[in-house]
Amino acid sequence: MIWLSIVSLAAGALSAFRFKIMALMPATVVVVAAGVELAEIKGVWSILLIVGAASVGMQTGYFVGMLIQYRAGTLLGRKSSSFSDTTSARDPAR
Protein backbone atom coordinates (compact mmCIF):
# COMPACT_ATOMS: atom_id res chain seq x y z
CA MET A 1 0.00 0.00 0.00
CA ILE A 2 2.85 2.39 0.77
CA TRP A 3 4.53 1.73 -2.57
CA LEU A 4 1.26 2.48 -4.35
CA SER A 5 0.96 5.78 -2.50
CA ILE A 6 4.53 6.76 -3.36
CA VAL A 7 4.13 5.79 -7.02
CA SER A 8 0.82 7.59 -7.35
CA LEU A 9 2.22 10.76 -5.71
CA ALA A 10 5.21 10.72 -8.05
CA ALA A 11 3.07 9.98 -11.10
CA GLY A 12 0.72 12.81 -10.20
CA ALA A 13 3.55 15.29 -9.69
CA LEU A 14 5.24 14.31 -12.94
CA SER A 15 1.99 14.46 -14.89
CA ALA A 16 1.41 18.02 -13.63
CA PHE A 17 4.52 19.14 -15.48
CA ARG A 18 3.49 17.53 -18.76
CA PHE A 19 -0.31 17.36 -18.95
CA LYS A 20 -3.34 19.53 -18.27
CA ILE A 21 -6.00 18.71 -15.69
CA MET A 22 -8.06 16.73 -18.22
CA ALA A 23 -5.39 14.01 -18.29
CA LEU A 24 -5.65 13.45 -14.53
CA MET A 25 -8.64 11.11 -14.69
CA PRO A 26 -7.22 8.68 -17.28
CA ALA A 27 -3.88 8.67 -15.47
CA THR A 28 -5.66 7.90 -12.20
CA VAL A 29 -7.48 5.01 -13.84
CA VAL A 30 -4.18 3.60 -15.11
CA VAL A 31 -2.51 3.83 -11.70
CA VAL A 32 -5.55 2.32 -9.99
CA ALA A 33 -5.64 -0.55 -12.48
CA ALA A 34 -1.95 -1.23 -11.98
CA GLY A 35 -2.36 -1.11 -8.20
CA VAL A 36 -5.29 -3.51 -8.22
CA GLU A 37 -3.47 -5.86 -10.57
CA LEU A 38 -0.27 -5.99 -8.53
CA ALA A 39 -1.84 -6.07 -5.06
CA GLU A 40 -2.82 -9.16 -3.17
CA ILE A 41 -6.58 -8.75 -3.16
CA LYS A 42 -8.30 -10.10 -0.09
CA GLY A 43 -11.75 -8.69 -0.60
CA VAL A 44 -13.88 -5.79 -1.70
CA TRP A 45 -12.64 -3.51 1.09
CA SER A 46 -9.06 -4.09 0.00
CA ILE A 47 -9.92 -3.04 -3.54
CA LEU A 48 -11.72 0.08 -2.31
CA LEU A 49 -8.75 0.98 -0.12
CA ILE A 50 -6.36 0.59 -3.05
CA VAL A 51 -8.58 2.66 -5.34
CA GLY A 52 -8.91 5.39 -2.72
CA ALA A 53 -5.19 5.51 -1.94
CA ALA A 54 -4.21 5.66 -5.60
CA SER A 55 -6.82 8.31 -6.46
CA VAL A 56 -5.94 10.55 -3.53
CA GLY A 57 -2.24 10.08 -4.20
CA MET A 58 -2.54 11.02 -7.87
CA GLN A 59 -4.61 14.10 -7.17
CA THR A 60 -2.41 15.23 -4.30
CA GLY A 61 0.71 14.68 -6.39
CA TYR A 62 -0.80 16.63 -9.27
CA PHE A 63 -1.63 19.53 -6.96
CA VAL A 64 1.86 19.53 -5.43
CA GLY A 65 3.40 19.37 -8.92
CA MET A 66 1.33 22.37 -10.00
CA LEU A 67 2.47 24.29 -6.92
CA ILE A 68 6.10 23.45 -7.61
CA GLN A 69 5.73 24.50 -11.22
CA TYR A 70 4.05 27.77 -10.20
CA ARG A 71 6.69 28.56 -7.59
CA ALA A 72 9.54 27.79 -10.00
CA GLY A 73 7.94 30.02 -12.63
CA THR A 74 7.47 32.80 -10.12
CA LEU A 75 11.06 32.62 -8.94
CA LEU A 76 12.42 32.50 -12.47
CA GLY A 77 10.13 35.31 -13.56
CA ARG A 78 11.23 37.49 -10.68
CA LYS A 79 14.89 37.00 -11.51
CA SER A 80 14.51 37.69 -15.22
CA SER A 81 12.17 40.68 -14.80
CA SER A 82 14.99 42.88 -13.48
CA PHE A 83 16.74 42.56 -16.84
CA SER A 84 13.67 43.24 -18.95
CA ASP A 85 13.62 46.98 -18.12
CA THR A 86 17.02 47.73 -19.61
CA THR A 87 17.16 49.99 -22.61
CA SER A 88 18.73 49.10 -25.87
CA ALA A 89 21.99 50.63 -27.07
CA ARG A 90 20.56 50.95 -30.57
CA ASP A 91 19.76 54.33 -32.03
CA PRO A 92 15.97 54.95 -31.81
CA ALA A 93 15.97 56.65 -35.24
CA ARG A 94 16.66 53.36 -37.00
In a domain, 49, yes or no: yes
Count of the separate structural domains present in the chain: 1
- Domain for residue 89, yes or no? no
In a domain, 87, yes or no: no
Q: Is 51 part of a structural domain of the chain?
A: yes
pLDDT in tens, 30-62: 877 877 777 777 777 877 888 888 888 888 999
Q: Residue 26 falls within a domain, yes or no?
A: yes
Q: Is 90 domain-assigned?
A: no
Taking the CA atoms of residue 60, residue 66, residue 70 and residue 71 in that order, the dihedral angle to the nearest 10 degrees is 40
Q: Which domain holds residue 17?
A: 2-77
Asked if residue 58 is part of any domain, the answer here is yes
Model pLDDT for residues 14-36, shown as the tens digit of each residue: 888 888 878 778 877 887 787 77
Q: Do you know the residue count of the chain?
A: 94
Query: Would you say residue 12 lies in a domain?
Result: yes
